[in-house]
Every structure is written in C-alpha cells, then in structure tokens.
Homo-oligomer: A and B are copies of this chain.
Amino acid sequence: MDGQVKSLLKKHSLRLTQGRKDVLSIFLHRNIAISHSDIESDIDGKYDRVTIYRTLKSFLEKGLIHKVLDDSGATRYALCNDNCSEAEHQHNHIHFKCQSCDETTCLDHVNIPSVTLPDGFQMAESNFLITGTCAKCA
C-alpha cells in the first residue's frame, strides 16, 4: 500500500510529502467519495485545514482525484482511474449516493449511457448522480 501511494504521487508529478501520502492513503482505504471535512476528521489535527485544501487542489490539478457532484452542496472527491492525467480526464461511471448511509460510491461497472444533444450543443464532460438506497442499506 505504501508503495502504491508513492508510485501514484510520482506518476502525477507530485512531491512525496508526508501530508500527501496520508491524504492519498485515506482515499485508497475508503473506496468512496470523501469531502474535505472527512479528511480533516480522519487525520484529526495532524495537518492544517489549509494544507488539506491545497493538497486536494493539487491532486485535482494533477488528475489524481476528481470532483464528485453532490446534491447536498458538499464538495466530494474520489480517486481517478488509471487513465486520468493532468491533461485529460476519462470518467464514464455513474455515482451513487445512498440516502440512508449518506455514502457516495462510484459504480465503476455502470457506464454513463450516451445521449444525443440538441443541435449545436457539444459535450465535454458528463456527470451522472443517482440517489437512492445502496445494497448495504436496502
């Protein structure tokens, strides 16, 4: 796991600092979309709130994580898949938010269906969020 953390950071041209390793570990351990405050409570004061904001921003810019839309207003993030880089994101999976346990998961095996847009509209990215009850809470 530690080797994975290092190689992921290196792969995305990010310096190997303890803070980044710890934050990335959280993403790897919890396979759900997490927010700034999730991380803050996980590390429990080990790093400054501002540092976490900047860490997330760096990860975002380098294509290590992506934003997960949420209907509650909270900003959440999830690990990108291997195909993502600073240059281009390649996400085609649906996000599912459970109304019961409040967890947002990436449905990696459910692809976003293609849609036909009206004349003149050009798609760049798409985000699909489904709300409901997850398998654990059903």
Size range of the chain A interface in the assembly: 35 or more
Within 8 A of B (CB), among A91-134: 94, 96, 99, 107, 109-110, 113, 115-134
Contact B133 A122 (CB under 8 A): yes
A12 within 8 A of B: no
Task: Tell yes or no: A135 within 8 A of B by CB.
Answer: yes
25 contacts between A and B (CB under 8 A): A67-B71, A69-B69, A69-B70, A96-B117, A96-B121, A99-B124, A110-B116, A110-B118, A115-B128, A118-B135, A120-B134, A120-B138, A121-B133, A121-B134, A121-B135, A122-B132, A122-B133, A122-B138, A123-B130, A124-B131, A125-B131, A126-B128, A126-B129, A127-B129, A129-B129
